[in-house]
Structure 1
Amino acid sequence: MTTEDTTSRRRGRRPAGQDTKTALVEAARAVFAENGYERATVRAIAARAGVDAAMVNHWFGGKEGLFAQAVLKLPFSPIDLVAPLRDGPDEQFGERVVRTFITRWDGAGGDTFQALVRSVAGHELASTVLREFFSKFFTELIGGLGSDHGALRTTLCASQLVGLGVIRYIARFEPMATAEVETLVTAISPTIQRYLTGDLGLG
């Protein structure tokens, strides 16, 4: 005999199809962003998606596979950004980098960036993805500029932008969390420009 409660629960479940898979990825991205990899649970993700927890194993083979789809698969390729960023005066590189970083992550909702950063301590692949994102991005940029100390410049730029991302998308410190893009471009780009092309004082 089907009770009213059972019927209600069944109606609240999504069908086991592409909609379920998409819902799980979206829910996982949000839960990983809030809690990081270690603290996120399959049960919490499934509840957020409105599906049975068994669907995580069915579609992704477990939490690890879901993490790979929801977080480690970035919403855009850093290499694809290199050519557009090179299109303009070298002295405005910093402006283009900061503007691109903010608009791309704002457009992606910031959840993937949050999930990556929150998961770095507990998931080695998250650290690798974040490191490779900035490494590939800035190595290509700096290589084109012919600047010295390329590896150091890459990590200096990454430190600035990761810090910006943490403040804007995770800690949400005001006024940076809701500041206009051009306000941040004006304030931050001189530092990025120096890291890219300026004198680091290293001789």
Structure 2
Amino acid sequence: MTTAPSGRGRRRGSPDTRAAILEAARARFADAGFSGTTIRGVAADAGVDPALVHHYFGSKDDLFVAALELPVDPRAVLAERVAGPLEGAGERLLRALLSVWDDPEVRPALLAMVRRLIEPGGETLFREGFLPVVLAPLGAALGVDDPERRMQLVASQVIGVIVLRYVVRAEAIVAMDADALVTAYAPVLDGFLAGPL
């Protein structure tokens, strides 16, 4: 005689396991920030073994990016399009961001991410997650000195452009095409990346 499973214990992999892990990860990252979130904690919240979190998402960095629910991995986009010498990196960075944000299929998800970041807890996600996971490695790959500081300065400018152009829809910024924006902002970004601080 066989007995039915008791339903106790941790969940094994199933189609809804990935969704449960992502839901737990979003809540943990929002509440505890990136540094306060662990794979083990997310697994416990989702009722799964930590090995399943690693199986579905790999590292904590990968889990964080997946939890943002973006249609593109910003690390891959930036690494591919901004790689190269430090000279001209500001232009490459801005063109990469504008090309992604100007894609009508991608923009709704990016807007949702920005709105999540301005909700309560979002500042922690951005400060402890997005900056060290996405932007700081880009600065290190470009070989900038003091990448943490320089990439935060870059972020201050880039976020301003994104919020004004795509969220607030400030008329003067929306009216500028990509070339005009690059002409206006790339020298500022290059200054933050390589100029004296």
Superposition TM-score tier, normalisation by shorter sequence: 0.5 to 0.7
Q: Deviations over 1:12-40 (max 9, x none)?
A: xxxxxxxxxxxxxxxxxxxxxxxxxxxxx
The alignment partner of 2:102 has SS state of: helix
Shift of the alpha carbon at 1:122?
2.8
Shift of the alpha carbon at 1:110?
2.9
User: Is 1:158 matched up with 2:155?
Assistant: yes
User: Is 1:79 matched up with 2:53?
Assistant: no
Alignment of 1:107-186 (within 5 A): 107=103, 108-124=105-121, 126-127=122-123, 129-131=125-127, 132-186=129-183
CA distance in 1, matches of 2:139, 2:183: 21
Shift of the alpha carbon at 1:192?
0.9
Q: Is the 8 A contact 1:72 1:129 kept in 2?
A: no
TM-score, structure 2 normalization: 0.57
User: Is 1:102 matched up with 2:98?
Assistant: yes
**Please, which of 88, 103, 110 is the counterpart of residue 92 of structure 1?**
88
CA distance in 2, matches of 1:182, 1:172: 18
The alignment partner of 2:87 has SS state of: helix
List 4+ stretches of structure 1 deviating above 6 A. Answer: none
Q: Size of the alignment, in residue pairs? A: 131
Q: Which runs of 5+ in 1 are unaligned?
A: 1-67
Q: Is the 8 A contact 2:70 2:113 kept in 1?
A: no
Q: Which runs of 5+ in 2 are unaligned?
A: 1-63
Q: Is the 8 A contact 2:98 2:178 kept in 1?
A: yes
Shift of the alpha carbon at 1:148?
2.2
Distance 1:130 1:105, change over 3 A: farther
Shift of the alpha carbon at 1:134?
4.0
Shift of the alpha carbon at 1:157?
1.0
Q: Which entry has the higher C-alpha Rg, 1 or 2?
A: 1
Shift of the alpha carbon at 1:161?
1.0
Q: Aligned AA for 2:189?
A: I
TM-score, structure 1 normalization: 0.56
CA distance in 1, matches of 2:93, 2:68: 22
Q: Is the 8 A contact 2:86 2:144 kept in 1?
A: no
CA distance in 1, matches of 2:144, 2:81: 16
Shift of the alpha carbon at 1:119?
3.1
The alignment partner of 2:163 has SS state of: helix
Shift of the alpha carbon at 1:109?
4.9
Q: Aligned AA for 1:171?
A: V
Q: Aligned AA for 2:71?
A: P
